[in-house]
A and B are shown apart, each in its own frame.
Chain A
Amino acid sequence: MSFKIIKSEKAEQKYKEWKVLGKPIPCVNSYLKVTGKAAFTDDIIRPNMLYGKILRSPFAHAKIVKIDASEAEALPGVSSVITYKDVETMGVSQKPPAYILTDRVFYVGDVVAAVAAEDEAIAEEALDLIKVEYEPLPFWLTPEEASSAQPMHPEVTKDNIVVGMWPPYYRSVGDIKEGFKGSDIIVDVEFRKPNIKHMFLENFTAVAEWRGDELHVWSHPQVGAVSFAMMLASIFNVPTNKVHVYQCFIGGGFGGKMGDAPLRVAALAAMLAKKSGRPVKIRTNIREHFVEGAVLDPGISTFKYKIGADKLGNLKAIDATVWAGQGERSINLGIVYCGDTIFNTYRIPNRSFKAYPYYTNTPMSQALRAYGSQAGVPPLEEAVNEIAEKLGMDPVDFIIKNGLRDGDIVTQYLHNDFQLAGGSLPELVQKAAEIFNWKEKWKGWSVPTEISGSKRRGIGLAVATHTAWGVPQPDRVKDTVIIKVNVNDGTVEWVTDGRDIGSGFDTVVSQVIAEVLGIDIKDIIHAPPQSVGQPIGGWTFASKALQSTVFAAYNAANNLKRNIITAAASILNVDPNRLVLDLKGTRIYVAGDPTRYVKLSKIGEIYGGILIGIGSCPSHYEGPESYMDPVTGRRLGMKGMFCSFAEVEVDIETGKIDVIKLMVATQPGMILNPLMVYGQLIGSAVHGMGCMLWEGIIYDEKTGTPLNASFIEYPIPTALDVTEDQFVCVTIVDPDDAKLTPYRAKGIAEGIFAAMWHSIHMAVYNAIGRKIREFPLRPEKILRALGKAPFPQTKGVV
C-alpha cells in the first residue's frame, strides 16, 4: 500500500476514543454513484423539455454590430432564440464584467446567442442560421500585451487591472532594501506559466423550468444552492424564495464550477425556458467546456522574483512581482494565494509582493484544485533553489534552516496576521526525506543520480503551505448545518446548501454527527441540497469543509444533544451528565440504570414535535478565547504543511520524462477518514503530474483560439500513465498540528497539489542540468533546453 500513516502516541490515543471518526468509511453516497442512480444535472429529464444549444464567438474580442436570428426562429422545430437583444426585454440585469449576453464578446467561444428546439440536431442547425456581423477589436492573451492595451472594461477600470473581490496589488513586510543590503548572494529568477484547465468530465449543464413566476433550476454549482439562487434571483429580478435551485451531484469541479460558467449556462437555459414557456436543458460538450470554463487564477503569468541570503544560507529578503493574464474577469483570490507563498513558506524577514492582474481575452480565472499556491510555488522554489545551489547546500538542509514552523507569524493579505498553531515544514521535510532516502540518493545540484544510455535520473523536492481551514472571510459566508432527528426511529438527517464534489465532505460531516450523537453512520443522511428552505454556507472550496462545515455540524450536533438531554433530565429529574442518548433505541436513559428512561417521542412533544439542532462555524477572527496564545497573547491560526519528493528519468534523445517516484507528505493533524485522505492525496499527485509534464492550453496566437480543446490534445493522465509503485503518500499524524478544529483535523487536498509540481521540476533540472523556467515540461521544451531544437518565435503563451 502506498499510503503511510505515521501516528504519534497522542494520535493513537485519540483514535482509541473515536467510534466513527478515523475509520475508512466509504463515501456515504456510494450506492448511488456505483449504480448510476446519483442524479447529475444531465440526468434530469422534464416533461415536454426542449434542448438548448449555444452559438459562440469566433473572435477573441469583438463588438456585435448586427445580429439577425429570424431565419433560425423560422426553422421548424425551433422554439426560441435569444441574443443580447432579449436581455433588456426580459429584464435580465447584468453587471460588468460579468455578462450573460451582451453586444460584446471577450474571448473565442464567448456566448453570442442560444437556441431551444425540439431536438439537439435542430438546435444545432438553427445556430448556423443566425447571422452575426462582428466588428473585431484588438485582443490580447498575455499580461505584457494587456499592460499597453485599450481598456477591456472601461466601465470599471481604465488600466486593465482586474477589479477583483480581493485587490492583491501590493503587500510588504520589513524593508527589502535593508534585506538585500545584508545579503551575500542575490539571485533573480524569471518564470512563466501557461493557462491550465480543470478538465473535469461533467461539462456545464443546466435544466431550467418556469412555473408561473417561480424559477426551477437544476445545476451543479460548487457554490451552495442558496448562493446560486441569490445570483439567479438578481439576474432575473425575482424574489430569492421563488428561485428553486436543486444542486445535483457534481461531476468534478476542482474550482472550475465555482466560476460564472455554471451560472451563465443556467441563466441561458432559464432565458430560453422563459421565452419558450417550456423546460430547457443545455448540456455543453468538451469543446464548449474548454472555451467557456475557467482557467487557473493566476492565468498566463510572468513571475520575477529576486531573493537574497547570507553566506550561511539564511534568507534575508524577497522582492516578488507577478504579471498575470486573468481572463475577462477574476476575483483575484488565486493571486492572493500566490503572494501567500512568498510570505508564508520560508522565514524571510523582508518581503515584498506586487501583483499586476490584467484583463485578457480568455475566460475567467478561478481556483484549480487550489487557489494560486500551485502557481506561486515553482517560481519561489526556483529562486530558493538557486540560492541553495550557489551556496552548495543540500535543499533538505536549506528547508530545515529556513522553513516556516510552529509559532511563526503568518502574514495574510487582507486580514490580521496570526501565530501558527501547529505544523512545521522543517520537521515534515526531515521525516519525509528519511522515508524517501534523500540523503543516500542526493548527488548534488544538477548532477544526475543515475545515467544509463540516453536516460538521466534526477531527484527533487518542494514545499508548500496552504490554507487549511477556509478562506479568511470574517464577514462572508459562514457555514450553517441543521440536523433533524426523527423521533419515531432515531434516524438523522442533516442539511447545508452544499454538495460534495467528491472530496468526501458529506461523508466526513456525517461521521462527525454520528460521533457526537453516538449512532451508526448508516442512520444518517445528507439531505439533497436545494436553495429553498435550507441554510447557507456549504460551499465546497478552499479546503474549508474540514473546518467550517465540520465545525458547524459539530456545534449543531452538540446543541441538539444538549437540548434532548436537558429536556430528558428535567423529566427524569436527574443530573444531565448521568444521561445517555440512545437514538437507535429512541430513548434517553440513566447511565447504569437503563430501566429509567424517557422516550425520544416524549422529548419531541416538548419541542413541538420536532427535534432539530442548528450550528454554525465561528470565523477564526471571531473565535473563542482558545484561539489566543496564552503566552504571546497573539491570535492563533493554522496552515497546511506540505512537501513532495520526486525522482524522474529523462530521455535526453527524445525529451520524454518518466516519473519514477513521487512521494507527497503532509501533517494533516488527525485523519478523520483515511479512505478520503488517501483519495485526495493520490488524486492530487496524479493530476499535478499531468500539469507539470503535459497540460496547458495551446493558443493560436493570431486569433486567440485555444487549439487543444479535447482530451486528446489536452493530455490529462490516463490509466496507462500511472502505476501504484510510482506514488507514495505519507501523513505524519498528530493532533497538535491542528489545534483549532474540533477534531484536530485540517484540509490537505489543495496544498499537496501546490507542493508537488516543483518537485518534478527540480528533479528534471538535476537530471539534465538545464533550467526550464516554465511548464509543462513537454519533450519539445526539454529538447530545446538541451540545444537539440530551436526555440520558436512566440508571444510566450505556453
Chain B
Amino acid sequence: MDEGKNDLINGARMRMQKIKLTINGKLYELILGYEVQPWHTLAFTLREKLGLTGTKIGCDRGECGACTVLMDGRPILSCLTLTVECDGKNIETIEGLLNSKTGKLHPIQEAFIESGAFQCGFCTPGMIMSAKALLQRNPNPTLEEIREAMSGNLCRCTGYIPIFNAIMKAAEKMRGMT
C-alpha cells in the first residue's frame, strides 16, 4: 500500500488529484489522499466528511436503499459507490430538496408528512430520493410504476402503502404547480 508506488503507470494517478463533485448544485473539491481515500464510499464522504448526514447508511451492503442519492438524475446506492469514481458527477441528496429560496418543503416531503408515509424515518431520505427521480422522469405515474420505482428501498415500519399514497399525492401536487 505504498503511496505513490504506482504513479508511473501510464500517468493514471497524479499527486494532489482532486475529486470534483457537484452536490445539490454546489461544487466541492476534495483532495484525494487527504479528504478522500480510494476506499471511501460516497455515503461515507457525504456524511462524515461533508456533514451531509441526511443520507443514511443502513445495511452498508447495497441491499436496503437507505443510502439512495441521485447521480446525474438516477437513484444509486451511495454505500456501493466509491467517491473516487464520482469525479465530475452531479449528486442530489435529501438536503437539496428544500426550496433554496423559500426554505419550503418539496411537495414530495409535504405529501410524505400528510400521508403518514414514514414512522421511524430512517428509510425516508432514500425513499424520497427514489420518489423524486421517478416523478422527474414520469410526472404521472401509475401505482404499478410507483411500486416498481420504490422496490429498491426497504421499509420495515409502514408496509409501503402509505408511501405509495404519498407519491400519488406528490405527483398531483407537482402537476398542479406547473
Contacts and interface: CB of A to CB of B under 8 A. Distances in A.
Q: Which bracket fits the contact residues of B? A: 35 or more
Given A679-B157, A711-B64, A40 B122 contact: yes
Contact of B147 (A121, A199, A283, A720): A720
Interface in A418-477: none
B39 interface: yes
Given A43-B53, A201-B64, A202-B58, A727 B120 contact: no
B122 A252 contact: yes
A200 B163 contact: no
B116 A679 contact: yes
A382 interface: no
Q: Is the interface of B mostly helix, strand, loop or mixed?
A: loop
Contacts of B112: 30, 34
Interface stretch (A7-15, A570-578, A680-688): A680-688
Interface in A317-358: none
A724 interface: yes
Contact of A26 (B51, B116, B147): B116
A251 B66 CA distance: 11
Nearest to A124: B39
A723 B143 contact: yes
Interface string A26-39: 11011111111111
A19 B35 CA distance: 53
Interface in A721-753: 722-724, 727
Interface in B20-78: 37, 39, 44, 47-48, 51, 53-61, 63-64, 66
Given A36-B94, A683-B119, A719 B54 contact: no
Contacts of B80: none
A45 B53 contact: yes
Nearest to A120: B44
A686 B97 contact: no
A2 interface: yes
Interface stretch (A158-166, A478-486, A500-508, A558-566): A500-508
Given A36-B53, A36-B54, A201-B58, A682 B162 contact: yes
Interface string B147-170: 110110111111111111100000
Nearest to B122: A251
A711 B152 CA distance: 11
A29 B148 CA distance: 28
Interface string A705-719: 000001110001111
Contact of B118 (A24, A27, A39, A253): A27
A718 B151 contact: yes
A27 B116 contact: yes
A314 interface: no
B158 A26 contact: no
Contacts of B93: 36
Given A202-B122, A712-B63, A37 B54 contact: yes
Contacts of A254: 156
A678 B161 CA distance: 10
A interface, by DSSP: helix, strand, loop or mixed? loop
A502 B119 contact: yes
A567 to B, nearest CB: 38
Given A202-B56, A249-B120, A710 B158 contact: no
Interface in B94-151: 94-95, 97-98, 105, 109, 112-114, 116, 118-125, 128, 143, 146-148, 150-151
A627 to B, nearest CB: 32
Interface string A204-218: 000000000000000
B156 to A, nearest CB: 5
Contact of B153 (A26, A712, A719): A719
Contacts of A203: 58-60
Given A26-B113, A683-B119, A716 B154 contact: yes
Contacts of A2: 161
Interface residues of A, number: 64
Given A201-B58, A201-B59, A285-B60, A30 B120 contact: no
A796 B172 CA distance: 51
Contacts of B154: 201, 711, 716, 718
A710 B97 contact: no
Contact of B113 (A34, A503, A684): A34
A37 B97 CA distance: 12
Contacts of A250: 120
A449 B171 CA distance: 39
A370 interface: no
Nearest to A675: B116
Contact of A285 (B59, B95, B114, B163): B59
A201 B61 contact: no
B128 A34 contact: yes
A676 interface: yes
A653 interface: no
A45 B50 CA distance: 11
Given A36-B93, A203-B58, A502-B119, A716 B156 contact: yes
A735 to B, nearest CB: 24
User: In this complex, which of A38, A685, A687, A712 has the most chain B Cβ atoms within 10 angstroms of its Cβ?
Assistant: A38
Given A31-B105, A502-B157, A711 B120 contact: no
Contacts of B157: 252, 502, 679, 683
A719 B151 CA distance: 5
Contacts of A249: 120-122
Contacts of A145: none
A727 B159 CA distance: 10
A682 B175 CA distance: 28
Contacts of B37: 119, 121
Most buried by A among B54, B58, B98, B118: B58
B40 to A, nearest CB: 8
Contacts of A200: 120, 122, 156
A194 to B, nearest CB: 18
A286 interface: yes
A341 B56 CA distance: 39
B58 A286 contact: yes
A397 B135 CA distance: 49
A260 B141 CA distance: 44
A525 B122 CA distance: 21
A684 B51 CA distance: 34
B56 A40 contact: yes
A649 interface: no
A39 B53 CA distance: 8
A75 to B, nearest CB: 11
A121 B59 contact: no
Nearest to B120: A502
Contacts of B97: 35
A40 B54 CA distance: 9
Contact of A33 (B124, B143, B159): B124
Nearest to B108: A34
Contact of A683 (B94, B146, B158): B158
B116 to A, nearest CB: 4
A686 B58 contact: no
Contacts of A720: 147-148, 151
Contacts of A36: 53-56, 93-95, 124-125
Contact of B161 (A35, A40, A682, A711): A682
Contacts of B163: 719
A42 B64 contact: no
Contact of A42 (B56, B59, B125): B56
A683 B61 contact: no
Nearest to A674: B116
16 contacts: A27-B116, A27-B118, A30-B118, A31-B105, A34-B105, A34-B118, A36-B53, A36-B124, A39-B53, A40-B56, A42-B53, A45-B51, A283-B60, A716-B156, A717-B159, A717-B160
The 4 closest A-B pairs by CB, nearest first: A36-B54, A502-B119, A251-B122, A686-B159
Given A250-B120, A719-B155, 16 more contacts: A27-B113, A35-B54, A36-B56, A36-B94, A38-B121, A201-B156, A203-B60, A286-B64, A501-B120, A676-B116, A679-B157, A682-B158, A711-B59, A716-B154, A719-B146, A722-B160
